[in-house]
Amino acid sequence: MALSPEIEQAVRARIAYFRDLGVFDFYRRDYATAANATDTVTNTEENDAAAPAAHLDLETTPLMPSSLTLIAETQKAIAPKDHAAALQAIRDDIGDCTRCALSAGRHTIVFGDGDPNARLMFVGEGPGADEDAQGLPFVGRAGQLLNNMIVAMGLRRDQVYIANIVKCRPPQNRVPEPLEANTCSPFLFRQIDVIQPEVLVALGSTAATYLLGGKSPLAALRGRIHHARGSKLIVTYHPAYLLRDPRQKKEAWADLQLAMTELGLKAPAKSQ
């Protein structure tokens, strides 16, 4: 089947990325269906609560070039003592990145923050203005709420790891375009592979989409365990969405409790 120009561009970007890593051999798996090939990213964090599945839009850019799946050989697990150095090596590989259009408007690459040996990792969509200025993920109002959520789980921020699907701020905080996310997310996947968290928490629909490799309504993903890159994956609302609709905080807490159960954590006792 002939590839559309958009898919071909995404495939070329992914091949170039792997060649930057020194991977030159690729294999094709012919299991993708036409339905998978037309999955698209249409929702933003504004629509995290939307329950009904939208119809497939055949005119928009596909989420992933699913008609051509590229497979790189899995690396061996890295010893915990080497995690920090391995993460730094990924950051060095990124360099002063200009691989996609987001680089034109950024001030700072927001790589990630936290414990290289974390059992729990949070993944958001992309940096905002505060993150772009400081070079750290989740430091604005949404970040303050995320910090409170982490504390409520009985942890500190420096005991978890936090990153995003894209490492440069999209203009006006828009949802990353598929080509942007597909170009940048492999670096996130490498981070996950190094850290090897027991539990991943996808914050919002964009993070869930790229971690799971397909688009589904957030309501259909919440409340159960998924798996991604060897970790258990739990999907919840993005903190920015919770700031706009605080009524959903109870639902988000239920999602975090699911993560706590998997990690064997208990909420700290409330002070009298």
The predicted model scores a pTM of 0.77
Domain 80-263 architecture: 3-Layer(aba) Sandwich (3.40)
Question: E strands, the chain, where?
Answer: 113-114, 120-124, 161-164, 199-203, 226-228, 231-236
Delimit the domains of the chain by residue range: 80-263
Positive or negative torsion for Cα 219, 224, 227, 230: positive
| Torsions phi, psi for 246 (to 5 deg) | -60, -15
pLDDT value for 181? 97
> 6: closest CA among 64, 71, 69, 70?
64
CA distance to 19, 63, 83, 146, 207, per residue, from 182 (Å): 15, 8, 24, 25, 12
CA distance to 66, 85, 115, 116, 164, per residue, from 126 (Å): 23, 24, 19, 20, 5
Between the CA atoms of 264, 121, 38 and 40, what dihedral angle is there, to the nearest 10 degrees? Answer: 120
pLDDT value for 177? 97
- How many other CB atoms sit within 10 Å of the CB of residue 41? 20
pLDDT value for 210? 97
> 129: closest CA among 120, 142, 119, 116?
142
pLDDT value for 268? 87
pLDDT value for 74? 46
pLDDT value for 25? 57
Q: Which amino acid is at 190?
A: R
pLDDT value for 42? 36
DSSP assigned state of 135? T
Residues in the chain with pLDDT values less than 70: 1-3, 5-6, 8-76, 271-272
- Residue 231, strand partner residues: 228
Q: Classify strands 199-203 and 231-236 as parallel, antiparallel or unpaired.
A: parallel
